[in-house]
A and B are shown apart, each in its own frame.
Chain A
Amino acid sequence: MSRLDLLDASNAPMTVQAYFAEGDPGPIIAALASVPEMLAPTLGFIGPALGAGAIGTRWKEFAILRTSALQGCSYCIHAHTAVSLDVGLTEAEVRGLRGEAPIEEAFPAPADRALLAWIDGLAGATGPVPNDVWDTARAHHSEHRLVEISITVGATMFLNRFATAFQLPTSDDTLARLDAQGMA
């Protein structure tokens, strides 16, 4: 049960009605709509930060799902378990990202593990990211790729705390699907 009075098409502010024109836009937009002047700018950041971007959906979902697991955001874990499976991650990879299986087994490729160590350094710790994590990440990835993945981690952390603090609900459809797949 959300702590917020989530808006719907009947009471969405007139300047953001378009987001509700196709039906329920989901709890994040329904929550952001209560400050209508912040909705478009926020989505303008979140959209590209979580979208495929230059590095593609596979690595983007690494960042989103791993960060969400480290931050303990059940809403985002559920949502991006479904998305990760949709974009081709295996169940073993998803379980690895969610911390339910060893990373080394789920991700044998050094480039994947280097990227995950960088994500863990950002989202799973405070203070400086160790030099060896940076050096290993740079050995496998360009600077701009690490910048982009870091933007994704930051946007995800915002959503993690937003969804968790306001207790945004996972949709019944998503829960039913994940339950059927044994991934709830």
Chain B
Amino acid sequence: MTPSGPIADAVAHGVMPGRVWLYSNYHCNLACSYCLTESSPRSERRELTADQMLAVAEQAKALGFTGLGVTGGEPFLLPWLPDAILAMAEQLPLVLLTNATLFSGDRLERATRLAHPDIALQISLDSHLSDVNDMARGDDNFAKVVEAVPLLRAAGVRVRIATTTAGPLESPFLQPLRELVASMGVPADDHLVRPIVRRGRADERGMGVRAEARDIPSELTISADGAFWGSFGPTVRNGRLDTDLLLTRTILPLEVPATALLGALQGLPPGQDARLGIR
């Protein structure tokens, strides 16, 4: 049955973005210099349950959303994650963000189970130079990523690459990286280049572009802390959650935060998100 109602209408008419993001967890095996959520191995364990994530997926489809995104923290630190992702992808197409540094042994086997037409793994890689990449993302990050991507692709997993940069998005200095990504078999359309957003740890370090709410894609974002305007919403700074983009503490039923987002969208003027390239 085709969804109907104000949320479905808003998505269908481009008033509200179609994707719902979920922060599965905040903790991570890395501690990247520009991380929005101050994620690290020492982060407080705040995570959604598998049941909550599946409920979000089911209700998102019923409300008229058209896609899902899952991010963290590092989602693959959650052992139940691949099963939940497979169940969620039965509802809506899904992109799953990962640093791809955990893909050995059992975790690689679990990741390759995500070879599914409606699932893409989005892996972070910031430079073609291992030392430059690893300076922001941690020791051996580059080597692990370039090892994991071909293995995942060989197993039939769709891989996208996301590059976060402090420089211009169209810089010629990115060309060697684009060539590296292409050499790993990832199509150019699946290589995303985006700026560092000055929130979270990036703000503490004075990095990235300043952005207000209207500059940030208004995708409904669900975390253990509540529902937010955009996946750049539930950021953490000096250990304190940023609440400026908090919509509701209620995450389910999803209609509650979705309705709050729609109300907020109708109250804001257009932004400059296209110019800043935040996505």
Q: Which residues of A contact B (CB under 8 A)?
A: 5, 7, 10-15, 33-38
Contact = CB atoms under 8 A, between A and B. Distances in A.
Given A35-B249, A37-B250, A12 B243 contact: yes
Contact of B244 (A5, A10, A35, A37): A10
19 contacts: A11-B242, A11-B244, A12-B243, A12-B244, A13-B247, A14-B213, A14-B264, A15-B247, A15-B264, A33-B243, A34-B243, A34-B249, A35-B248, A35-B249, A36-B246, A36-B247, A36-B248, A36-B249, A37-B260
Nearest to B237: A11
Contacts of B256: 37
A114 to B, nearest CB: 43
A33 B244 CA distance: 10
B263 interface: yes
A86 to B, nearest CB: 33
A15 B249 contact: no
Given A14-B264, A36-B246, 15 more contacts: A5-B240, A7-B243, A11-B242, A11-B243, A11-B244, A13-B245, A13-B246, A14-B244, A14-B245, A34-B243, A34-B249, A35-B249, A36-B248, A37-B249, A38-B249
DSSP class of B's interface residues: helix, strand, loop or mixed?
Answer: mixed
B21 interface: no
B247 to A, nearest CB: 6
A180 B246 CA distance: 41
B229 interface: yes
Interface of B: 213, 229, 240, 242-250, 256, 260, 263-264
Contacts of B242: 11
A134 B200 CA distance: 58
A14 B264 CA distance: 8
A13 B263 contact: no
Contact of B248 (A7, A11, A12, A37): A37
Nearest to B261: A15
A14 B248 contact: no
Nearest to A37: B248
A139 to B, nearest CB: 46
Nearest to B233: A14
Nearest to A34: B243
Contacts of A38: 249
A13 B242 CA distance: 9
Contacts of A37: 247-250, 256, 260
Contacts of B249: 34-38
A137 to B, nearest CB: 40
Nearest to B227: A37
A17 to B, nearest CB: 8
B223 to A, nearest CB: 14
Contacts of B246: 13-14, 36
A14 B248 CA distance: 10
Contacts of A33: 243
A37 to B, nearest CB: 4
Tell which of B229, B244, B246, B248 has the most Cβ of chain A within 10 Å.
B246
Contacts of A11: 242-244
Contacts of B229: 14
Given A35-B249, A37-B250, A37-B256, A13 B244 contact: yes
Contacts of B240: 5
A14 B229 CA distance: 9
B162 to A, nearest CB: 26
Contacts of B263: 15
A90 to B, nearest CB: 43
A12 B229 CA distance: 13
B234 to A, nearest CB: 12
Nearest to A18: B267
